[in-house]
Chain A
Amino acid sequence: MDLNGGNHPVSDSLRVENLCHSFVDAGTSVDVLKGVSLEARSSEITSIAGPSGCGKSTLLYLMGLLDRPCSGKIFMNDVEVQDLNDIDRTRARNESIGFVFQFHFLIKELTALENVRLPLLKSGTDRSTADEKSIGLLNDLGLKNKSHRPAYKLSGGEQQRVAIARSLANSPKYLLADEPTGNLDSKNSDGVFELLLQMAQSLNLSVVLVTHNEKLAGRADRRFIMKDGLILA
């Protein structure tokens, strides 16, 4: 599998077509996505907004290959990826996709630096290169002096920035952010959004941002609103 272009036209977009997904809850099948199509382009922030339970997080996890859709297609770099085997999906998550979650999800036993370098070490980067790159990312995100601090000793905003640094460690093409500001105050929320915007433009990232925050969603380059498993606009 080649998500970096190969013989395909290079578009670095993340596209879904007619994506459907359902969960079985207490023996009843619940349709969460009912044929969603959208495209996230490089150097842009694409926001997906909507009420709780409308399926926006589910859509994000499907786009990030954390789950498999019931039907529909997912394209990365115009390569169809929804049916990839587990090994290729795992590799794609490591090399091409970065995730940022609402609760930052750092591994609390590790320091900020160790959290950031995890994806690099997993992809086979040697330790000194991984450290150098991770420290560079932490510096860029204003955490220069906190790289050796245990994750649990960082503030909420700092932890979210470490999570963003980790998501960028392997220079992914796609950054998928699920309510990244949901747990932050307005000042920190603005800071994180600015950071994502800056990263998208400087690193040619396709950023997909799932958020409740109408204000932030409105600032995205492309904006989708979901309701009941469907894209409304």
Chain B
Amino acid sequence: MLCLELAWRFIIARKRPMLLSLSGIVFGVAFFVLTQAQTSGFEQFFIRTILGTNGAIRISDQFQDNVGTVEKVDQDGKVEFLFHSREDSLYREGVDQPALIYEALKDYPEIMGVSEIIEGNGVLNTGSRKSSIEIKGIRWVDHAQASDLISQIIDGSIDEFAADQMAVLLGSRISQRLNLKVGDRVRLIGGTGNLHLRVSGIFETGVSQIDKNRIYLHMGTARSFLGRFSGGSVFQVALKNPNRAPAIAQQLQNVLNHRAVSWQEREKVWLDVFKALRVSSGITVSCILLLSGLGIFNVFAILVIEKTRDIAILRSIGFSPQDVSAIFLWQGAILLSAGVFVGSLFGYAGTFLISVIPLRIRGIFSTDNFVVNWDLDHYLMAATIALFFVSFATWIPARRASKVEPAKIIRETL
């Protein structure tokens, strides 16, 4: 405690350089928290959107093993490749036995919801306008458990959809393009013929690709329209812990012998973009902390030179080299603690202010404000990086201070 007390006294006696050192840590930590909150905020929002729309795992076609389709043959030193025909292999589009798969998935402890979906294409015709669309035939009760469909409905309601077998839920961009409102009638063309549907709701996922292409029909209506009365469906699975999706997908694929794709694999491109942004901003902002570390190093290096006489005195009255070193390390620890605390407060306040900045984004997700992620890990990471730089910046001068030879210093002072 004595060393801590001396460290504190030395710090408050040098307000200006210490405040400069402190401000470096404060801004470094604050900017780190801010940038991480923004980049990971958009990333988390994107993940929530795609999980709420397409689920954590998609189980589709029966698993096809490609082994043996290409064969390398050596003939008289020449290498030849033989391509085997797949004509004899049995290929079934989608899930072969949906009822069995559904039963198997339903009782899986980590699965929160399972929705069987029949997929196909068609054209919506209002009479004056046409639009190619992607049909998703669902059982709405199941789909509501495996997605955020209910909360994505911005006009109409799921009850209206549930009450009418010829109801359709339209993506928001489709409704805009075809100028359709809830209650309007629309014709679906393609498949086995024409269907007259009633718009019961309009949904918006925020993912423009989905909002301008997707419609939801009841499973029976969709099967009838597409002429697929059994099989051929896919499953959308929601998990209690979406982070475990890759492992569970692999497990399901092995057990069910159907292709199971996790959301991490499905959205790898976008996730990699977000990761690159997050790492890039982290590195950039860490440079601020590095610079503040260099500043602290300078301040402490000068401080040790200034305090060599005091160090010699402390040694002469019974302070050990470790005590002397501790005095300087405590100074670093005080600056670090204060810097991380104040920097975190600034980061927190800044994150809040940024979160209310109006910013309209429609594309890979939908938002009207800057999206931020409140995550304790950002603060811990900022503190860890600051700890690394400040420790290094104070350790070297502290070590130098501990090596001061008292007799030599006193002799040279006289």
B9 close to A110 (CB less than 8 A): yes
Q: Does B270 contact A (CB under 8 A)?
A: no
Q: Does B13 contact A (CB under 8 A)?
A: yes
A99 close to B317 (CB less than 8 A): yes
A57 close to B413 (CB less than 8 A): no
**Which of B313, B318, B407 is most buried by chain A, counting CB atoms within 10 A of its CB?**
B318
A95 close to B318 (CB less than 8 A): yes
Nearest chain-B residue to A102 (Cβ)?
A: B414
| Docked CA distance A93–B406 (Å) | 12
Q: Does A190 contact B (CB under 8 A)?
A: no
Q: Does A229 contact B (CB under 8 A)?
A: no
Contact for B414 among A57, A93, A106, A107, CB less than 8 A: A57
Contact partners of A91 in chain B: CB under 8 A: 318
Given the known interface contacts A67-B407, A105-B309, the answer about A94 and B414 at a Cβ–Cβ threshold of 8 Å is no
Contact partners of B91 in chain A: CB under 8 A: none
B9 close to A105 (CB less than 8 A): no
Contact partners of A118 in chain B: CB under 8 A: 2, 314, 317
Q: 8 Å CB contacts to B: which residues of A136-161?
A: none
Given the known interface contacts A66-B315, A107-B310, the answer about A101 and B410 at a Cβ–Cβ threshold of 8 Å is yes
- Looking at the assembled complex, report how far the CB atom of A107 sits from the nearest CB atom of chain B, in whole angstroms: 5
Contact partners of B414 in chain A: CB under 8 A: 57, 101-103, 178-179
Of A11-19, A119-127, A196-204, the stretch lying at the interface with chain B is: A119-127
A86 close to B321 (CB less than 8 A): yes
Contact for A94 among B309, B318, B408, B413, CB less than 8 A: B318
A93 close to B316 (CB less than 8 A): yes
Q: Does B411 contact A (CB under 8 A)?
A: yes
Q: Does A129 contact B (CB under 8 A)?
A: no
Q: Map CB proximity to A onto B383-414 as digits: 1 under 8 Å, 0 otherwise.
A: 00000000000000000000001111011011
Q: Does B45 contact A (CB under 8 A)?
A: no
Q: Does A166 contact B (CB under 8 A)?
A: yes
Q: How many residues of B contact A (CB 8 A)?
A: 27
- Looking at the assembled complex, report how far the CB atom of A168 sits from the nearest CB atom of chain B, in whole angstroms: 11
- Looking at the assembled complex, report how far the CB atom of A3 sits from the nearest CB atom of chain B, in whole angstroms: 13
A90 close to B319 (CB less than 8 A): yes
A90 close to B406 (CB less than 8 A): no
| Docked CA distance A91–B317 (Å) | 9
Q: Does A50 contact B (CB under 8 A)?
A: no
Q: Does A87 contact B (CB under 8 A)?
A: yes
Nearest chain-A residue to B320 (Cβ)?
A: A90
**Which of B6, B317, B408, B411 is most buried by chain A, counting CB atoms within 10 A of its CB?**
B317
| Docked CA distance A166–B318 (Å) | 12
Q: 8 Å CB contacts to B: which residues of A78-96?
A: 86-87, 90-91, 93-95
- How many A-B pairs fall under 8 Å by CB? 74
| Docked CA distance A122–B313 (Å) | 13
Nearest chain-B residue to A52 (Cβ)?
A: B414
Nearest chain-B residue to A110 (Cβ)?
A: B9
Nearest chain-A residue to B406 (Cβ)?
A: A66
A90 close to B318 (CB less than 8 A): yes
B10 close to A93 (CB less than 8 A): no
Contact for A121 among B2, B10, B309, B407, CB less than 8 A: B2
- Looking at the assembled complex, report how far the CB atom of B319 sits from the nearest CB atom of chain A, in whole angstroms: 6
A107 close to B315 (CB less than 8 A): no
Contact partners of A166 in chain B: CB under 8 A: 317
| Docked CA distance A61–B13 (Å) | 30
Contact for B13 among A99, A102, A109, CB less than 8 A: A109
- Looking at the assembled complex, report how far the CB atom of B222 sits from the nearest CB atom of chain A, in whole angstroms: 81
Contacts A/B (CB < 8 Å), 21 sampled: A57-B411, A58-B411, A86-B320, A86-B321, A90-B315, A90-B318, A90-B319, A90-B320, A91-B318, A93-B318, A94-B317, A101-B410, A105-B313, A105-B413, A106-B313, A109-B9, A109-B13, A118-B2, A118-B317, A119-B318, A178-B414
| Extra contacts besides A118-B314, A123-B318, A170-B318 (9): CB < 8 Å | A61-B406, A61-B407, A61-B410, A87-B320, A91-B318, A93-B316, A101-B313, A108-B13, A118-B2
Interface residues of B (CB under 8 A from A): 2, 6, 9-10, 12-13, 309-310, 312-321, 323, 405-408, 410-411, 413-414
Interface residues of A (CB under 8 A from B): 57-58, 61, 64, 66-67, 86-87, 90-91, 93-95, 99, 101-103, 105-110, 118-119, 121-123, 166, 170, 178-179
Closest 7 CB pairs of A and B: A94-B318, A67-B407, A61-B407, A66-B407, A109-B13, A119-B317, A105-B313
